[in-house]
Amino acid sequence: MKTLLALTVLTLICFLKHSSAMPVAIEMVINGVECCQAVTNKIHIPVTKVKHVMKSSCNLEAIIVTTVARRKFCLDAKWKHAQMHLEEFKKKSSARKP
């Protein structure tokens, strides 16, 4: 009897944990929010290999760089190399617009 009660409580806790995280996950998918779990300042990405650059809109301050090979890197937003990529991408974007 105690085992059944413990199993029921454990199942209920797991269900509540899963259901409480669901609205946040759905919102992130709908709004196209990309978050970084960790940032680095040790990856030098050549400008010619960069396809897209954007700032992370989550708690961790980062710059997300997407390469032409569709790999994504989270770079430290305070790092000069990452800031250079963001500036270059802004220049390219503004030059394309009429």
Domain identity same for 59 and 13: no
Kindly report the CATH number assigned to the domain that includes residue 95.
2.40.50.40
Domain identity same for 18 and 54: no
More confident residue, 93 or 15: 93
Separation of alpha carbons 34 and 51, rounded Å: 16
The model's pLDDT over 14-72, given as tens digits with 9 standing for 90+, comes to: 555 554 444 434 334 334 557 788 888 888 888 889 898 888 877 788 888 889 998 88
For position 45, what pLDDT does the model report? 87
pLDDT confidence bin for 12, thresholds 50/70/90: low
For position 38, what pLDDT does the model report? 83
Domain identity same for 28 and 44: no
How many structural domains does the chain have? 2
For position 69, what pLDDT does the model report? 92
The model's pLDDT over 79-88, given as tens digits with 9 standing for 90+, comes to: 898 888 888 8
Buried b / exposed e along 55-84 (16+ C-beta atoms within 10 A): ebeeeeebbbbbeeeeeebbbbbebeebee
Q: What is the DSSP string of the chain?
A: -HHHHHHHHHHHHHHHHHHHHHHHHHHHHHHT----S--BS-----GGGEEEEEE--SSS-EEEEEETT--EEEEETTSHHHHHHHHHHHHHHHHH--
Domain residues for the domain of 89 are 34-98
Domain identity same for 96 and 48: yes
